[in-house]
């Protein structure tokens, strides 16, 4: 079983993988099915790592929208035919930078 540090590192690595291709911009994302799938896969990894965190850990950081992250993972895994690329891009552009900052802070404070 992976410990807290490993789970946090999983999240940060997945964010890094997304950032590498997000730098190409929205047009590249919209026009490249491989990039779309890359982002979805790494968002799934983030959601799975978050889901595996203990309630104690999640409760200690209430400003992080844990349930929304887990909910997005559920949609990406189980409702894959209804994935909205607008929502995926918005999460990457709007939410990932702040999540990265908070996860880095959590890891630093361990």
pLDDT number for residue 80:
80
pLDDT number for residue 24:
96
pTM of the model: 0.94
pLDDT number for residue 110:
85
Q: Where are the domains of the chain?
A: 4-108
Mean pLDDT for each 10-residue chunk of the chain (110 residues)? 94 98 96 96 98 96 97 93 92 97 95
Annotated active-site positions, please?
A: 73, 78
User: How far is the CA of 54 from the CAs of 19, 35, 64, in angstroms?
Assistant: 26, 31, 14
Rounded to whole angstroms, the Cα distance separating 82 from 24 reads 24
Burial of 89 (0-12, 13-18, 19+ CB in 10 A): middle
pLDDT number for residue 37:
96
């Amino acid at each position: 079983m992976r410990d807290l540090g490993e789970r946090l590192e999983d999240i940060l690595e997945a964010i890094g993988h997304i950032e590498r291709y997000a730098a190409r911009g929205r047009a590249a994302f919209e026009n490249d099915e491989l990039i779309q799938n890359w982002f979805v896969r790494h968002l799934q990894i983030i959601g799975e790592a978050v889901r595996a965190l203990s309630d104690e850990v999640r409760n200690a950081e209430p400003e992080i929208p844990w349930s929304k992250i887990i909910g997005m993972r559920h949609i990406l895994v189980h409702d894959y035919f209804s994935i909205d690329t607008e929502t995926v891009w918005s999460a990457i552009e709007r939410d990932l930078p702040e999540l990265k900052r908070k996860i880095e802070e959590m890891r630093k404070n361990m």
